[in-house]
């Protein structure tokens, strides 16, 4: 009953109701666009592409990120990943180029300039990925039916359509952020993942039915898989919400070297301050080899391309794991600034008991972040490569992608962030929240785009 009362409270807040409706309508536009097939693509072409996608684990992953638009040869086939890749490059440039660092410190005007550069770079990436995707369709059609008619000018104008589709998705994401609920880009990725979940569960259930040629262990095995999926999801929630509290004493009055009065508060340093960003960063980079190879000619490739196209292989998962650990430290360094935190505490007459204010406090906070980030990054990496272990135990590729990896962590992180925004609206209007304690801890120091 309390849950239904909370839903009633949500509907009674006009601003929140409007934001939810706008979010729903924009998501509906996105899902309808995923069903619009590129002009000139016949059912035979589409079937050849879907067969190729089902054979390749990496292509299935790309298809999941695009909400099925990749295998549908949709105008949204390239999805939002080119924008995320461009954002990664711009953030990396902000670490090494003084001009970009200056823009990062200029506030809103600098952020707008960086966003503009990100859009330009997104278009450039789309102009590279679009032809690669279309050439892949031509190769799959040629392999399936022995002929494929897609000349230079056809590829050129279809590339423009694909680029326009991805830019439109980016615009939808920005509108959701501004006028809806949640982070728009992350929400679009979330919708694409959720759209694949029912199909994956249904296929896994059918494959476990007695009499199916793929059945192994029957319905008992399927039940065990669901329990394990729930356990991994709980672990992912704990990873996203885990914190280490640092006590800070704030003085009310200072006379000479003595501090009088005051109150003790806590700084919650997150075990995983980077959120799901390391996963998204690493995944975007792991897509680069297959993009440069034109998505492969037969779904297998050879040498380097083959190693980094097999998402169940050792080298793919090893490099993926290392990159996640590295990106966790990188993104934590961007979002958590111990020097600034130490200066803010000193300015407000605050100090950590037993630690001198200023530089010593910054070093102390930095050492704590380094220690708690290590287990957080390792656990994040392990969760990310769990789908490969699930495949080893005979779970189907589609369903295995939800046993950790990018999909699960994005689901958990984005849902918690969205619930936190709804929670804040409810509390602002003095309504009970969605949880008993009225608090949902989201990712406060980093978020997916």
Tell me how far the alpha carbon of residue 341 is from its chain's centroid.
27
pLDDT at 166 over 80: yes
Residue 59 lies in a domain: yes
Mean of the pLDDT values across residues 12-21? 83
Give the pLDDT confidence score for residue 277 in this predicted structure.
Answer: 75
Give the pLDDT confidence of 300-357 residue by residue, as tens digits: 455 666 666 677 778 888 888 898 888 888 888 877 888 888 888 878 777 788 888 8
Give the pLDDT confidence of 407-432 residue by residue, as tens digits: 777 777 778 778 777 877 777 766 55
Answer for the pair 77, 39: CB distance below 8 angstroms, yes or no. Answer: no
- Helix, strand, coil percentages (3-state) for the chain, rounded to 5, are 70, 5, 25
Residues contacting residue 212 through CB under 8 Å, at least 6 positions apart:
206
How far apart (Å, rounded) are the C-alpha atoms in residues 168 and 26? 11
pLDDT at 253 over 60: no
What domain count does the chain have?
A: 1
Q: Fill in the DSSP letter of residue 297.
A: S
How far apart (Å, rounded) are the C-alpha atoms in residues 344 and 362? 11
Alpha helices (H) along 272-358: 277-286, 288-292, 303-307, 314-335, 338-347
Residue 442 lies in a domain: no
Give the pLDDT confidence of 428-448 residue by residue, as tens digits: 766 555 555 445 554 444 444
How far apart (Å, rounded) are the C-alpha atoms in residues 432 and 447? 25
Whether the pTM exceeds 0.85: the reply is: no
CATH number of the CATH domain containing 339: 1.10.3370.10
Classify residue 79 as left (phi > 0), alpha (psi -120 to 50) or beta: left
Reading the block at residue 54, the tokens are 């089902």
Q: Fill in the DSSP letter of residue 74.
A: B
Residue 259 lies in a domain: yes
Give residue for tokens 């929400």. Answer: 187
Residue 441 lies in a domain: no
Answer for the pair 294, 136: CB distance below 8 angstroms, yes or no. Answer: yes
State the DSSP H helix or E strand holding residue 88, giving kind and residue range, or none if neither.
helix 81-96
Give residue for tokens 């490739």. Answer: 301
The beta strands (E) that lie in 238-302 are given as: 243-250, 253-255, 258-260, 263-270
Residue 438 lies in a domain: no
Give residue for tokens 């972040």. Answer: 369
Question: Which of the two residues, 264 and 87, has the higher pLDDT score?
Answer: 87
Give the pLDDT confidence score for residue 167 in this predicted structure.
Answer: 92
Angle at 275 between CA 271 and CA 277, to 5 degrees: 135
- Residue 265: which domain range? 2-428
The residue among 442, 446, 426, 337 whose CA lies nearest residue 2 is 426
The alpha carbon torsion through 297, 302, 303, 308 (nearest 10 deg) reads 60
Residue 102 lies in a domain: yes
């Amino acid at each position: 009953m309390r849950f239904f009362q909370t839903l009633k409270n949500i509907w009674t807040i006009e601003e929140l109701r409007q934001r939810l409706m706008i979010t729903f309508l924009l998501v509906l536009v996105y899902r309808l666009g995923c069903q619009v097939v590129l002009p000139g693509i016949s059912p035979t072409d589409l079937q050849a592409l879907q067969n190729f996608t089902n054979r390749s684990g990496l292509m299935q992953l790309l298809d999941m990120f695009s909400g099925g638009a990749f295998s549908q040869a949709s105008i949204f086939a390239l999805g939002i990943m080119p924008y995320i890749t461009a954002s990664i490059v711009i953030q990396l440039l902000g670490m090494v180029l003084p001009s970009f660092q200056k823009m990062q410190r200029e506030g809103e005007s600098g952020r707008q300039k960086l966003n503009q550069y990100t859009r330009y770079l997104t278009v450039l990436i789309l102009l590279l990925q679009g032809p690669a995707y279309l050439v892949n369709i031509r190769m799959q059609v040629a392999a399936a039916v022995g002929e494929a008619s897609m000349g230079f000018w056809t590829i050129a104008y279809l590339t423009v359509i694909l680029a326009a589709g991805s830019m439109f998705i980016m615009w939808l994401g920005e509108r959701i952020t501004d006028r809806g609920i949640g982070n728009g880009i992350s929400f679009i990725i979330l919708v694409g993942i959720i759209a694949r979940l029912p199909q994956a569960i249904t296929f896994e259930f059918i494959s476990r039915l007695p009499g199916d040629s793929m059945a192994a262990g029957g319905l008992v095995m399927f039940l065990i898989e669901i329990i394990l999926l729930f356990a991994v999801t709980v672990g992912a929630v704990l990873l996203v919400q885990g914190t280490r509290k640092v006590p800070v004493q704030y003085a009310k009055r200072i006379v000479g070297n003595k501090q009088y009065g005051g109150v003790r508060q806590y700084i919650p340093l997150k075990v995983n301050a980077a959120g799901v960003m390391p996963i998204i960063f690493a995944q975007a980079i792991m897509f680069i080899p297959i993009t440069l190879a034109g998505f492969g000619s037969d779904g297998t490739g050879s040498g380097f391309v083959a190693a980094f196209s097999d998402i169940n292989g050792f080298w793919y998962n090893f490099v993926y794991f290392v990159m996640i650990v590295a990106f966790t430290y990188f993104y934590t360094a961007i979002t958590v600034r111990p020097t600034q935190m130490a200066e803010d505490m000193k300015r407000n007459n605050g100090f950590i008991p037993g630690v001198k204010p200023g530089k010593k406090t910054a070093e102390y906070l930095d050492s704590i972040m380094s220690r708690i980030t290590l287990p957080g990054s390792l656990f994040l990496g392990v969760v990310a490569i769990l789908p490969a272990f699930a495949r080893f135990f005979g779970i189907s590729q589609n369903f295995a992608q939800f046993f950790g990896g990018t999909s699960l962590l994005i689901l958990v992180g984005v849902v918690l962030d969205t619930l936190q925004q709804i929670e804040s609206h409810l509390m602002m209007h003095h309504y009970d929240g969605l949880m008993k304690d009225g608090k949902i801890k989201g990712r406060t120091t980093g978020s997916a785009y």
